[in-house]
Structure 1
Amino acid sequence: MPRKGNRKRLKYRADDLSSQSVTVADYANSDPAVVKSGRVKKAVANAIQKEVKALCGLEASCVPTEDGETVLSETGRLCESSDEGFENINEFSSSKKKKTKRHKEQIAVERTGDNYPIDIWLVLASYIRPEDITKFALICKNAWIVTCTAAFWIRLYKRHYRMNVYLPVRLLPEFMDRLRCLRACVIRSLYHMYEPFCSRVARNPPIPESTPNTLANAKCLLFWYRKVTGAKSEATWEFNFKFQKQPPKKKDYLSRLQPPLEYKDVHFNPDHDCCLLQVSTLNFSCIPVVMGMTLSYFTINVSTDMRHHRVRLVFQDTPVRNGKKPRGDQGVPIVLDPVHSVNLLDWWHPKYPFSAMA
């Protein structure tokens, strides 16, 4: 038989606890020290807490608790002022988001990464394929500086050099010790020696579909023609137009970077953004002087004999604005008919003519 004092301690008030969640066994088997303190078991308190939250319409994850326990008087106060509870929850969640964002920004500032010396990047560059140079340069600033050095391009040239491949005089090994235009010369030599680049040139059609769009508003830098004798003693006239293409509006990240001053000669390229339009005709045509003018119109159609092509070019003094078409009576028109072949060569193409003094 329990003592009279203990029996008095085992009583509880119906206003504080729910009869559905609390049983007599919770008090009969409990520790007298816990009963004397007047606190409820953790399991019982959690059950009451869930029931109170359900009645108040609050989610269990939104209400802050202290060590997983909630005092019954505080939960009752939450039920009486539910609107104030929602406001407190919103303020708590917003402040928590701000703290989390501030913490992430602080971590991003602290984690700047490891800075490896340029010598390590120069060693890694010896194993990079020519088609992956752009990806390698985008890793970090030191990797990009390595791609600007003369040692990088000389090693790339020696790695892919083959003696059984014909090369122009400027691209021979004894002339590759010049720093001026070294990068451009190595890129040109790769289109003679490196098989993936050679096959890429062979797959390109002689008349690309993007030729008119590529030469839009291009400036004519040079013009010349010559007489070419074929294998069957058939003479054709080859008209060459050297254009400087319009720079793109949205440049990539690497094109906006300037190489270091000590490697300026290595990256110098007088034919940058230049291309050559070769038009071979069966008959000679008198061409007016168009050097310094802008190409505003360019079409390739079928000739009148239905066996060849017909090329029409229109040059103007000023470039045409985007979205506007030039008038037919404006500019200097050039018509070549019949046309045997049309080729558009970039500055790195093996057939592109360049100076041996570059």
Structure 2
Amino acid sequence: MPKKGNRKRLKFKAGDVCSESVTVADYADADPAVVKSGRVKKAVVNAVEKEVKLLCGLEASQGAVEEVLSSALSVQGEALDSSDELEPEEDGENETKVARKKKNKRRKENSESSDGEDYPVDIWLVLSSYIRPEDVCRFALICRNAWTVTCTAAFWTRLYRRHYKIDTDLPFRLQPDSVEKMRCLRACVIRSLFHLYEPFSLRVSKLPALPESTPTTLLNSKCLLFWVKKVSGTRPEPLWEFNFKFLKQGHTKNGSAKPLCMPRQYEDVHKNPDSDCYMLQVTTLNFIFIPVVMGMTLALFTINVSTDMRHHRVRLVFQDSPLQRGKKRGDQVGTQVVLDPVQSVRLMDWWHPQYPSSPCT
């Protein structure tokens, strides 16, 4: 659509107008681009007046000429007014304004009609008794009251009792007597569901012991805790289990972190010291002395074939500070931990059944 400044106006001269050039179409179908304001130029008026005198022979009758001109100009003005209304640009602007008004009115009506009913928390608490564990997140996203229900201790206690089975072998920290405590209740119930709820237990069984993304996942993770444990196996000699507790990269160690606007009376329910943590568990055939790496950042993690070609070899490189973006990794710089021969390597999240959680949970 051409801009207003680029429109060309036709120039009329009295001598250029003749009986063949002045037609009804000049008035009825006048182009609004020619006469935007609706006013007729003086040159056009003089030309039309002269032509009318010649056609009608009314050169001596000035009054008749004025009457004819007035009627002709009134027709042209009406045509220009109607054409201005149909002008593409102005019509588009008017349609846009009307559409905006209608849209704003529709939004206002929708906002007024979308308020709905505000049901009390007690009703949502009753409905939560029929929610499956995998649908807790969807239920919490319905409204604020539904989310508030998922923050309560009653919700997690009922969820635990609904799926608890007396014949299931649960760790002591997940027994009914321990779950009755308010502190870390949510974390304990979630862990117990991976023992009691079949869909969750099947999900864990399908997880690989060491995902392919483990080296990338643990990169720049901070080692919070490290310990060695002697375990018994099929071999006559005991196995040694090396446990590294890592904090996920980009997170801070704050086990008492709570969601936004969490009610204070439910803060203990959502506490989880193991939140945003991984556990790297490496089982070796022999005891291996390694240096202290707590508080250091993992810069390299590799798994290769052992020298005996029957086991694995794990190599960990720790540094004092995280690896900055854009800089190359120095494989030989930092504290190295080499575990060889290795029988198994496992990476577990905080909710995994085999995750050695903190004593308070």
How would you bin the TM-score normalised by the shorter chain? Answer: 0.7 to 0.9
Aligned counterpart, 1:97? 99
Unaligned runs of 5+ in 1: 1-14, 17-51, 58-72
**Cα distance in 2 between the residues matched to 1:184 and 1:154:** 12
Q: 1:276·1:346 contact (CA, 8 Å) conserved in 2? A: yes
Alpha-carbon distance, 1:160 to partner: 0.1
| Count of aligned residue pairs for this structure pair | 290
Secondary structure at the aligned position of 1:238 is classed as strand
Residue from 264, 284, 295 that aligns with 1:292 = 295
Residue from 108, 124, 146 that aligns with 1:106 = 108
**Cα distance in 2 between the residues matched to 1:207 and 1:139:** 36
1:318 matches 2:321: yes
Partner AA of 2:228 in structure 1: Y
Structure 1 residues 325, 120: CA separation in 2 closer, same or farther (over 3 Å shift)? farther
The 5 A counterparts of 1:57-136 are 77=79, 81=83, 85-110=87-112, 111-136=114-139
Give me the TM-score of the superposition, normalised by structure 2. 0.73
**Cα distance in 1 between the residues matched to 2:130 and 2:195:** 20
**Cα distance in 1 between the residues matched to 2:76 and 2:100:** 27
- Two-structure CA RMSD over aligned residues (Å): 2.9
1:166 matches 2:166: no
Secondary structure at the aligned position of 2:303 is classed as strand
- Structure 1 runs (4+) deviating above 3 angstroms are 73-76, 78-84, 322-325, 355-358
**Cα distance in 2 between the residues matched to 1:85 and 1:108:** 34
Q: Deviations over 1:270-327 (max 9, x none)?
A: 1111121110112322211000111111112222333222211111111112343321
**Cα distance in 2 between the residues matched to 1:318 and 1:98:** 55
**Cα distance in 1 between the residues matched to 2:87 and 2:243:** 81
Q: 1:212·1:298 contact (CA, 8 Å) conserved in 2? A: yes
Alpha-carbon distance, 1:129 to partner: 0.7
Aligned counterpart, 1:331? 334
**Cα distance in 2 between the residues matched to 1:80 and 1:204:** 74
Secondary structure at the aligned position of 2:87 is classed as helix
Aligned counterpart, 2:199? 196
Partner AA of 1:77 in structure 2: A
Alpha-carbon distance, 1:186 to partner: 0.5
Alpha-carbon distance, 1:166 to partner: 0.6
Q: 1:242·1:274 contact (CA, 8 Å) conserved in 2? A: yes
Structure 1 residues 74, 199: CA separation in 2 closer, same or farther (over 3 Å shift)? farther
**Cα distance in 2 between the residues matched to 1:145 and 1:124:** 13
Secondary structure at the aligned position of 2:283 is classed as strand
Give me the TM-score of the superposition, normalised by structure 1. 0.73
Partner AA of 1:260 in structure 2: P
Aligned counterpart, 1:246? 249
**Cα distance in 2 between the residues matched to 1:79 and 1:339:** 91
The 5 A counterparts of 1:138-149 are 138-149=141-152
Q: Deviations over 1:168-220 (max 9, x none)?
A: 11211122221011111111111111101111111111111121122121111
Partner AA of 1:298 in structure 2: F
Structure 1 residues 243, 88: CA separation in 2 closer, same or farther (over 3 Å shift)? closer
Unaligned runs of 5+ in 2: 1-22, 33-74
Partner AA of 2:123 in structure 1: I
Q: 1:247·1:273 contact (CA, 8 Å) conserved in 2? A: no
Aligned counterpart, 2:46? none
1:261 matches 2:273: no
**Cα distance in 2 between the residues matched to 1:324 and 1:134:** 40
Secondary structure at the aligned position of 2:309 is classed as coil
Partner AA of 2:245 in structure 1: K
1:175 matches 2:178: yes
Q: Deviations over 1:227-250 (max 9, x none)?
A: 22312314322111111112479x
Tell which deviates more after alignment, 331-340 or 190-199.
331-340
Q: How many percent of aligned residue pairs carry the same amino acid?
A: 57
Q: 2:251·2:276 contact (CA, 8 Å) conserved in 1? A: no
Q: 1:241·1:276 contact (CA, 8 Å) conserved in 2? A: yes
